[in-house]
């Protein structure tokens, strides 16, 4: 799964972090998640949290800027991890 995406500055889109492979290794599930978006982007609403996938709706951005959006999870077993995806803002 890629962690880099192209987004139009006017688009309102969902982005997901798939933790399934790692969670299968540790035999665990997600119980909470926090999404961090940098200035210039907006996290719209709370993240949708499944057993192995977290999805966040994102809007905004300035053309020719690359933004890192970070998902930090806590598992039922108390593990904490975070991963980032990168949004390149381009007029489409």
Mean pLDDT (the chain) is 97
Question: What pLDDT score does 1 carry?
Answer: 54
Are β-strands 66-75 and 53-60 bridged in parallel, bridged antiparallel, or unpaired? unpaired
Give 73: exposed, middle or buried? Use CB within 10 Å, 0-12, 13-18, 19+: buried
**Domain architecture of the chain: domains with CATH:** 4-89 (2.60.40.10)
CB atoms within 10 A of CB 77: 11
**48/92 Cα distance (integer angstroms):** 27
pLDDT in tens, 57-79: 999 999 999 999 999 999 999 99
Look up the pTM and report it. 0.94
SS (H, E, C) 29-59: CEEEEEEECCCCEEEEEEEEECCCEEEEEEE
């Amino acid at each position: 799964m890629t962690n880099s995406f192209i987004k139009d500055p006017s688009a309102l889109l969902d982005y997901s972090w798939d933790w399934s492979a790692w969670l299968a290794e540790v035999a665990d599930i997600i119980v909470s998640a926090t999404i961090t978006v940098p200035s210039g982007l907006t996290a719209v609403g709370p993240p949708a949290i499944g057993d192995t996938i977290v999805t966040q709706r994102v809007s905004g951005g300035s053309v020719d800027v690359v933004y890192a959006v970070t998902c930090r999870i806590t598992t039922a077993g108390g593990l904490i991890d975070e991963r980032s995806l990168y949004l390149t803002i381009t007029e489409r």
